[in-house]
């Protein structure tokens, strides 16, 4: 039996614990900043000299740089008839395990549109640097990350079967291809799915945003072609 009395009386019965006035925090809550509107970012490709392709996507608060290395030799000892893709995301804001999870998600998304069979025995390395101010969850950045990777791949001359893109609405980040007739990825981190129709609405909103992004990318690429011609 434990006979020791572990109670410690704090004082007389009338004594009240110290109460501090509630400190009103000036910093806004994460959720307070709702950036549902997609902001058309500025795009620039072929920035880095030591990689095959690169692209930077910039907003006033985000700057996402992708660099594509390869197709280059892998250290795999197995014969791979198709190319291996690797995505590494770097950020100081989000925890590494979450970034790795997003990396593995993006690998799966890339596998569905990069022409892997053209690059046997090789590997493509995608590095993404998130130079951002935290305004939202990681999923909010996925449309920009996707955009930057896709344009980086185009810049590297790696063959891709479509210009896919990603839309974000109501916590869903959904990646589309083939003009929105096919989904290649969905990433949802929080919130319940109340019913199907609300999910359907969010799906349509994401699709709209994807089409907008696709238009932006296509315009950029065509203007880049024209610039090359005039040079």
Partner 1 sequence: MQGLPEQAIPGQILAPQFDLLEPVVTNNTNGDNDTPMKEDPTIIMYINGTGTKLINYPINNSSTNSKELTVISSTKLGKVYSYDVDAPADYKNLDQSRKIQFKMISVGNSELMKQSQGRSESNNILPREGDVIICRVSRISLQRANVEILAVSTKNIPIDSGVGTNGTGTVAVQGGSGAQTFSVSQASSDVGETFRGIIRSQDVRATDRDKVVMIDCFKPGDIVKAQVISLGDGNNYYLTTARNDLGVVFARANNGAGGLMYATDWLSMTSPLSGITEKRKCANPF
Partner 2 sequence: MTLSVAEKSYLYDSLASIPSIRPDGRQQHQFRPIEIYTDFLPSSNGSSRIIASDGSECIVSVKAKVVDHTIDDDLLQIEIEISGERDDSLITESCTSLFNKLLKNIDMKKLQLTKKYSFKLFIDVLVISSNSNPVSLISFGIYSSLNCTLLPKLVSNFDDLEVEELPMFHDYDLVKLEVDSPLVFVLGIVQNNIFIDPAANESEVANNGLMISWINGRTIAPMRTFALNDTNTKGFSPKLMQEGIKLVEKYAPDIANALQNI
Among 39, 40, 72, 201, binds partner 1 (CB under 8 A): 72
Among 105, 131, 160, 208, binds partner 1 (CB under 8 A): 160
CB of 50 to partner 2, least distance (A): 25
CB of 170 to partner 1, least distance (A): 23
Among 42, 76, 96, 104, binds partner 1 (CB under 8 A): 76
Nearest CA to 148 among 223, 48, 49?
A: 48
182's tokens: 């096919």
Nearest CA to 129 among 153, 110, 148?
A: 148
129's contact among partner 1, partner 2, none, with CB below 5 to 8 A by partner kind, is none
Chain centroid offset of residue 38 CA: 14
User: Is residue 52 near partner 1 by the rule CB under 8 A?
Assistant: yes
222's contact among partner 2, partner 1, none, with CB below 5 to 8 A by partner kind, is partner 1
Applying CB under 8 A, which part among 15-23, 24-32, 49-57, 166-174 lies near partner 1?
Answer: 49-57
What angle, 0 to 180 degrees and rounded to 10, lies between the N-to-C axes of helices 138-155 and 96-111? 50
Chain centroid offset of residue 136 CA: 12
Decide if 65 contacts 147 (C-beta within 8 A). Answer: no
Residue 61: other Cβ atoms inside 10 A: 13
- Chain residues in the site for partner 1 (CB under 8 A): 46, 49-53, 69-80, 84-86, 88, 115, 118-125, 127, 154, 156-164, 177-178, 181, 217-218, 221-222, 224-225, 228
């Amino acid at each position: 039996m434990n006979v020791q009395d572990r109670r410690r009386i704090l004082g007389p019965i009338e004594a009240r614990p110290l109460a501090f006035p509630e400190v009103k925090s000036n910093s806004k809550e994460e959720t307070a900043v709702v950036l549902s509107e997609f902001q058309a970012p500025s795009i620039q490709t072929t920035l880095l000299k030591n990689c095959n392709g690169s692209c930077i996507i910039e907003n006033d608060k985000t700057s996402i740089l992708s660099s594509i290395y390869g197709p280059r030799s892998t250290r795999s000892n197995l014969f791979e008839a198709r190319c291996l893709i690797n995505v590494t995301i770097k950020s100081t804001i989000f925890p590494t395990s979450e970034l790795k999870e997003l990396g593995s998600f993006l690998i799966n998304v890339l596998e569905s549109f990069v022409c892997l069979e053209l690059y046997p025995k090789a590997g493509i390395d995608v590095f993404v640097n998130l130079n951002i101010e935290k305004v939202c969850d990681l999923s909010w950045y996925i449309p920009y990350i996707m955009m930057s990777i896709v344009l980086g791949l185009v810049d590297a001359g790696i063959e891709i079967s479509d210009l896919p893109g990603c839309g974000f609405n109501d916590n869903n980040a959904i990646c589309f291809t083939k003009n929105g007739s096919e989904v290649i990825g969905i990433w949802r981190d929080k919130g319940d799915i109340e019913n199907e129709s609300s999910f359907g609405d969010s799906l349509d909103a994401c699709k709209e945003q994807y089409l907008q992004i696709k238009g932006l990318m296509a315009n950029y690429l065509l203007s880049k072609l024209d610039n090359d011609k005039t040079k």
